[in-house]
């Protein structure tokens, strides 16, 4: 009495990306980078991800990669970002939520002691975290 489906997971993998109205990087003025002052409005193309682009994003994210990882990620990112293109078909949705800020006065609570806060640091000096040099 019920339909028995015999479709494989293939439904999930393919057929979702159809041509839609794509907004490319040219049409936006939004700028957001991880380093203040750096303004790459278009630092990557809209088409497949190459190794240089992976290296650039890794630099923004402060993650060193070895060459094998760069090659592997370039291939995988092309697949994954291609799948994300399915979002181009999402309709405009009226969001009913009326969001309002909820404010409260600051209150002083007991927190960690300085010693506790420093307890997991690799290096400390005079009760402070010790980090690498800035430049």
Partner 1 sequence: MSLNAFITKATLDGSDDGPLAGKTVAVKDNISTEGVRTTCGSAMLEDYVPPYDATVVELLKDAGATIVGKANMDEFGMGTTTETSAFGPTKNPVDESRVPGGSSGGSAAAVAAGEADLALGTDTGGSIRCPAAFCGVVGIKPTYGLVSRYGLVAYANSLEQIGPIAPTVEDAAALLDVIAGPDDRDGTTRDAGADSNYAAAADGDVEGLTIGVPTEFVEGADDGVEAAFWAALDELEAQGAEYREVSMPSVEKAVAAYYVIAMSEASSNLARFDGVRYGTSGGDDGNWNEAFARAREEGFGSEVKRRILLGTYALSAGYHDKYYAKAQDARAWVKQDFDEAFEDVDVVASPTMPVPPFELGESLDDPLQMYLADANTVPVNLANLPAISVPAGETDGLPVGLQLIGPKFGEETIVRAASAVEN
Which residue lies nearer to partner 1 by CB, 90 or 100?
90
Angstrom distances, CA of residue 35 to CA of 42, 68, 78, 86: 15, 26, 25, 30
Minimum separation from the CB atom of position 21 to partner 1 (A): 11
Minimum separation from the CB atom of position 37 to partner 1 (A): 13
Tokens of 40: 């790459």
Angstrom distances, CA of residue 52 to CA of 43, 45, 49, 55, 120: 10, 11, 8, 5, 36
Which residue lies nearer to partner 1 by CB, 39 or 52?
39
Minimum separation from the CB atom of position 65 to partner 1 (A): 7
Cβ contacts of residue 81 below 8 Å, gap of 6+? 49
Minimum separation from the CB atom of position 38 to partner 1 (A): 9
Q: Are the beta carbons of 65 and 73 closer than 8 angstroms?
A: yes
Cβ contacts of residue 123 below 8 Å, gap of 6+? 129, 130, 131
């Amino acid at each position: 009495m019920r339909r028995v489906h015999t479709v494989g997971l293939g439904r999930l993998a393919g057929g979702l990306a159809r041509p839609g109205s794509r907004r490319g990087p040219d049409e936006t003025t939004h700028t957001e980078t991880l380093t203040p002052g750096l303004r790459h409005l278009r630092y990557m193309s809209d088409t497949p991800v190459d190794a240089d682009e992976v290296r650039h994003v890794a630099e923004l994210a402060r993650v060193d990669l070895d060459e094998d990882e760069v090659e592997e990620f370039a291939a995988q990112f092309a697949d994954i970002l291609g799948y994300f293109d399915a979002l181009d078909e999402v309709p405009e949705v009226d969001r009913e939520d009326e969001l309002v800020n909820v404010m409260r006065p600051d209150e002083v609570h007991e927190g960690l002691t300085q010693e506790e806060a420093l307890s997991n640091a690799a290096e400390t000096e005079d009760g402070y975290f010790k980090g690498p040099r800035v430049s």
